[in-house]
Amino acid sequence: MKFSLYNKKNQLDEMQEQTMLSIEARGFWLLWAGLLLAILVQIVLRTPSSQWVGEFVVFMAGCIYTMIECLRNGLWDRHICANTTTNVVGALSACVVVTVVIGLAYGSWLIALIPGVITGVLCFVLLQVCMHAAEKRRKELDNPKDEE
């Protein structure tokens, strides 16, 4: 008999599976927020980038993976509607956060405004592109074409 720590057969019933998914989701968002906060604090404290680049790489890998999988499955968000208004709010939030973090780190609010505005514009464009890609993919998944 072989001994294996990993069993491909699911050992959970449906209720346990839903509970496990909920736990994993909360854990992911806790790690996501923790990494983001750690990176922002280190930037504000002007820590050399060599000390936080590893955290940044892990954070971005998680973000990119999540974005790709959501787009591949035609998903946007559980609570936020995919529309231009929410994309503007998200982009403005990113603009404010980047401006404040850079302003606190370097003490020059006028200089901090430049990367803040650039971030806001790029964020809005990327959100719009992703929104349209998710909507297109959702339509493809909802209305599959018959291959004959």
Domain assignment present for 3: no
Q: What is the DSSP string of 57-105?
A: HHHHHHHHHHHHHHHHTT---SSS--SHHHHHHHHHHHHHHHHHHHHHH
Domain assignment present for 104: yes
Q: What is the largest CA-CA distance in the chain?
A: 69
Query: Domain total for the chain?
Result: 1
Domain assignment present for 8: no
Domain enclosing residue 124, as ranges: 19-142
Domain assignment present for 81: yes
Tokens 């001994």 identify what position?
A: 3
pLDDT grade for 30, boundaries at 50, 70 and 90? very high
Q: Is the pTM of this model over 0.85?
A: no
Domain assignment present for 56: yes
Domain assignment present for 4: no
Calculate the average pLDDT of the chain.
90
